[in-house]
Amino acid sequence: MYWTIIQLSLRELRANKMRTILTALGIIIGVMAVIILVTLGNGFTAQITKEFEGIGQNLIFVSPDSNNGPNRARVVPFDMRDVDAIRRGVPGIEFVAPSNGSGGRVVYGNVNHDTVVIGSTNEYFKVRLWVFEMGREFTEGELAAGKPVCIIGKTVRDTLFGAQNPLGLKIRVENVSCEVIGLLAPKGQTTFGNDEDDRILMPLRTYQRRIVGNSDVATIQVAVANGQDAQAVIDGLRSLLRQRRSVPEGEPDNFSIDQVSAFLGEVQNVLGIMTMFVGAIAFVSLIVGGIGIMNIMLVSVTERTREIGIRLAIGAQQKDVLWQFLIEAMILGLLGGIAGIVIGLGLSVLITGLMGVPFIPSIGIIVFAAVFSALFGIVFGFFPALRASRLNPIEALRYE
């Protein structure tokens, strides 16, 4: 019996293709919007997460800071003694990479290029997960003596040398003539538009002596050893540095400690909320689509008054008519939902492809969209269906 009514509904929908498509259009667009926005949100989140993992999951940044009371103006920098003290005095650490850096100009032949110049140690490559495409790390001797050698990123190489093998070539970094000893494998652009490959590295001591002329360390990057508690490391760093920098009890730190994974968590949170928010707006358009079904079903009931009269006269019960219209509305919703899912996923593949973001469809949201489109069909189809079933057969038959 119900199967027969489903067939009746399908026949009615098939016989009026244009009306069917127009009615379902609202749901199609609503579902499409939900799918695309949530898929894009997922893609961005995954992309950014990957970038953070590229930086190093358990990385702690320590930098000097001025946010304490009396000597606010002066930021007391770190130096190598602080770094050594951390190496010796804080347990649970795998690497400590001191660095200092600034914008700087490099010159090769008649080519100038403005880039980021960083002085650091070999630990820098480990904590930031840099891989060498060619060449080598710094030697102990180069590090200790502050030799003029440098390791370049791919963008610097491309700009200065083109396809030429850069190893052994001399470039001028600010006022220092430097030999290129290594080339880093490219990491590409970040979501925020930074070119990670536009950088040049030299031994920290070289940078300190030849470029800036001091012995400051601007940032200390600390990689937490596998299986160690990052919070314990942070606590160790804090008490050690407070003591070394003579911060009195009760005063705030004059340095800051930031953890990448914590920051990542926050970013993921924000992105998650944004995805939900945008998805919710799209969901509203799904509701509007449901109301569209109700409108057209109401028109359709009026248009089909005589048909309903015929059905009632020849023995249809009210509930038969109710079910026919309800099932019609549900099928409309479901068809709209399925079409919306297919089109939405198709467009998501296209858009993520164009934006270079991974395509991550969420089964949850697909099921959600399918269920809600059918549900909205029923909810918004109920009133028109009820109205159809309550028609007076005599008046319905007389309706022109």
Residue ranges that bind another protein, judged by CB under 8 A: 1, 4-5, 8, 11, 15, 306-307, 309-320, 393-394, 397
CA gap 143, 164 in Å, rounded: 27
Strand pairing category for 149-152 and 199-203: antiparallel
- Of 96 and 327, the one with the shorter C-beta distance to another protein is 327
Least spacing, CB of residue 332 vs another protein, in Å: 18
Least spacing, CB of residue 311 vs another protein, in Å: 7
Specify which residues 257 forms β-bridges with: 62
Closest to 255 (Cα-Cα) out of 93, 94, 55, 61: 61
- Of 209 and 306, the one with the shorter C-beta distance to another protein is 306
Dmax (CA) for the chain in angstroms is 105
- Of 13 and 35, the one with the shorter C-beta distance to another protein is 13
- Of 199 and 304, the one with the shorter C-beta distance to another protein is 304
Least spacing, CB of residue 295 vs another protein, in Å: 22
Specify which residues 2 forms β-bridges with: none
Using a CB cutoff of 8 Å and minimum separation of 24, what contacts does 258-261 make? Answer: 258/60, 258/61, 259/58, 259/59, 259/60, 259/61, 259/230, 259/234, 260/52, 260/55, 260/56, 260/57, 260/58, 260/59, 260/60, 260/61, 261/52, 261/57, 261/58, 261/59, 261/230
Residue 390, exposed/middle/buried by CB under 10 A (0-12, 13-18, 19+)? exposed
- Of 5 and 171, the one with the shorter C-beta distance to another protein is 5
- Of 5 and 224, the one with the shorter C-beta distance to another protein is 5
Residue 223 phi/psi, 5° resolution?
Answer: -95, 125
CA gap 37, 44 in Å, rounded: 11
Least spacing, CB of residue 23 vs another protein, in Å: 17
| Pair of tokens at residue 185 | 């494998």
Specify which residues 183 forms β-bridges with: 134, 152
Residue 271: CB atoms within 10 Å: 18
- Of 247 and 397, the one with the shorter C-beta distance to another protein is 397
- Of 280 and 313, the one with the shorter C-beta distance to another protein is 313
Least spacing, CB of residue 318 vs another protein, in Å: 6
* Encoded amino acid at 69, one letter: G
Least spacing, CB of residue 388 vs another protein, in Å: 14
- Of 208 and 389, the one with the shorter C-beta distance to another protein is 389
- Of 102 and 392, the one with the shorter C-beta distance to another protein is 392
Least spacing, CB of residue 381 vs another protein, in Å: 20
Residues near 144 by beta carbon (within 8 Å), at least 6 away in sequence: 205
CA gap 281, 30 in Å, rounded: 10
Least spacing, CB of residue 190 vs another protein, in Å: 60
Least spacing, CB of residue 395 vs another protein, in Å: 10
Least spacing, CB of residue 306 vs another protein, in Å: 7
